[in-house]
Amino acid sequence: MSLKSSKGSLRIRLVIFDLDGTLIDSGKDITESVNTLRKIMGQPPLTQKSVIAGIGQGVQHLLSKTVPPKILRTHPGAAEDFRRIYLDRSTRFTRLFPGGRRMLTALHRRGIRLAVASNKPSVLSGKILRNLGIRRLFSSVICGDRVRHPKPHPESINKLMKRYRVSPRETLLVGDSKFDMEAGQRAGTLLAATTFGFGTRKELARYKPDYWIRNLSKLIKLV
């Protein structure tokens, strides 16, 4: 499909989505998992806002932002403990953001390639996508444990473009964080930033996204 931007009239053949804060609202499940781990460590619970601020660069980064360094040093298995806790409860409250299912179904029916590039572990991403009934709509799902360099490095984005033989000008990256925007920018793709995700508009505006998405259904007409 054709799409107008500052880069001219383009035919988008591949749309790459981040997961947390972009396609899925996973904040409550992640927060409860972090607080379960903190309770085991003898720490008081954090607010969801505090936990969300650490989302975006994988488990180790999340724990570095939500557990005091001194406590982490005394719990060398903290990352594995968190993955186990979160895997057990990762689909309790997690839902697609409004317009998500309709948009994904519509783009898939039109023959546009859909993919996920997330720093979330593969086992967690797969479980959530299957539980939501949308895994079949994606041609590929590349997670942080399947690349040498997770986002904001563009490795996962470049892999997907190479796999489907599309150029950066034929690719749209949809994300909610500075890590998504930087990865897409470095790969040279078009950028669509969500306004309802975990990142702040001020943070995202630094990357001058081509599009701002207030509801995922907007992508049906945009692409």
List, by residue number, the catalytic residues: 18
What one-character DSSP code corresponds to residue 40?
Answer: H
Contacts of 95 (CB under 8 A, 6+ apart): 24, 25, 132
Q: Within 10 Å of residue 206's Cβ, how many Cβ atoms?
A: 11
**Whole-angstrom Cα distance, residue 84 to residue 116?**
22
Report the run of H or E that residue 76 belongs to, with start and end.
none
CA-closest candidate to residue 219, choices 50, 22, 57, 34: 22
**Whole-angstrom Cα distance, residue 196 to residue 204?**
12
**Whole-angstrom Cα distance, residue 82 to residue 30?**
10
